Structure 1
Amino acid sequence: MQHVILGLLMLAPMSLYDLHKQFTGGASLFYAASYGSLQRALAGLVERGLVTAEAVPGSARGRRVHTVTPQGRAAWEAWMREPLTGAGAETAMLAKVYLAGLLPAEGRAEVLGVLREHAAAALADLQAFARDLDAQEVGERHAEIFRYQRATLEYGLRSHALALEWLGEVADGM
């Protein structure tokens, strides 16, 4: 979430309320965030020197506006170029595409290339797994269990193929 916040703050300095609006108005397509989670993430970014927080003069509620520091921009750019890993890979992919317009053209091409490589490798792994799985004999006793497990694998195959196709379209300018 912190990298998504950094990217959104690169658009303009924002208060917690403004950031929450940005999440509910767009980033919620791939990432949901409560006020509390945003507040904790902002505090961590401020503590690490990636964001500054300045009080708004005359604000009755202690409104603070957050701005990305040069170190925050560098951390965001490094994250954008990192390969995807772990269980949150799909969410990270969507976040990176969502924010890719903040990069110069060559940076966007690099990021989309890394994302496409990841999607292609993940799809190839799933296809190999499917071949191995389909080559196994499934007894009558486990046929129904296998059917639903194979259906879940089919979802993974289709979603990875779609992601790869979609990333290609995004890279080509849709």
Structure 2
Amino acid sequence: MEYLILGLLMLAPMTGYELQQFIKQNLALICSHSAGSVQTALAKLEREGRISAREANEGKRRKRIFSITESGRTAFAGWVSQPMQADKVKNMELARLFFLGLADPAERVEAIRGYLHQMEEMEATLQTIRARFDAICQGEIPDGKDWDSIFRFQGYTIDYGIAASRFERDWYARLLCELEEQA
């Protein structure tokens, strides 16, 4: 969570609420978007000197706007430049699939149906994120960053999610057909 927040703050200063909402709307499939997890990460990053906060008034409300520090930029640059690690990608639902043979046959079918339904919802969510992302890319973009590169890799991430979701949905649909034929 900490590096995700540092990356978002590399793009622009944000409040804790703005960070939470961005994660909820765009990255909830990657990590938790709970206020507690965001606030815990912000507190840790601030203690470590990787972010700083300034107070601002908005009407009668006071808000804290977080910015990344040079130490945070260095930490983020070190993290993002490391090779990606295939052994870090885990799907704990595969453990459930591994043991599904121990369940009643009717429960197996229902478990797969339920998972397929969730995968369809996930793909719809990713398509919504893709549409929102495409609209942002076409909109007015502030100067000062290599937005073409930033957007290109963000787009790759969304495309990967959509492709992985489709693969998983199709794979489980074939499994469901096989289980229904055996029933």
More strand by share: 2
Q: TM-score, normalised by structure 2?
A: 0.46
